[in-house]
Amino acid sequence: MNPMLEGILETALYAEDLDAAEAFYEGTLGLSKITRAGNRHVFFRCGPGVLLIFNPAETVKLPAADAALPVPPHGMHGQGHACFRVSKENIDAMAARLKAAGVAIEADFHWPNGGRSIYFRDPDGNSLECAEAVIWGLV
């Protein structure tokens, strides 16, 4: 283990329809929006970290030479995956929230080593998971 790497600060997913992504992550999941930059990205606070949603058509472009944020081009095509940490006490409530919003639960899995995960999709088809931290031996 590298003690200099303290954890993951941000996670990125890609969505071509940022309006639908913004409505889903802010409205359905209840994340707090940090910022949105046109059709390029929308960022959300998620616990101590940040969830970045980028439009891949915009992030593959080279930044202008005088850009205030000269972030290198990046992106992906296809469906990604992110897992949200949810306590045992809240996982049923999260599943109910998703179902009430018309979001299908694709799998509800109890892991052999303890803990539970529920899987579902965002409007762009990204695979999302809510899981108890114990699935990775964390508390």
Give, in degrees to the nearest 5, the angle at Cα 19 between 15 and 22.
80
Delimit the domains of the chain by residue range: 7-63, 79-139
CATH of domain 79-139: 3.10.180.10
What is the three-class DSSP state of 26? helix
Hey, what amino acid is at 22?
A: E
Tell me which CATH code domain 7-63 carries.
3.10.180.10
Q: Could you tell me which of 25, 24, 14, 21 has the C-alpha nearest to residue 59? A: 14
Model confidence over 109-127: pLDDT tens digits?
A: 999 989 999 999 999 999 9
In contact, 55 and 36? CB cutoff 8 Å: no
Please give the residue that has the higher pLDDT: either 34 or 66. Answer: 34
Mean pLDDT, the chain, whole residue set: 91
Q: Which of 13, 47, 70 is nearest to 138 (CA)?
A: 47
Between 59 and 82, the more confident residue is 82
- Distance CA(79)–CA(32), nearest Å, equals 23
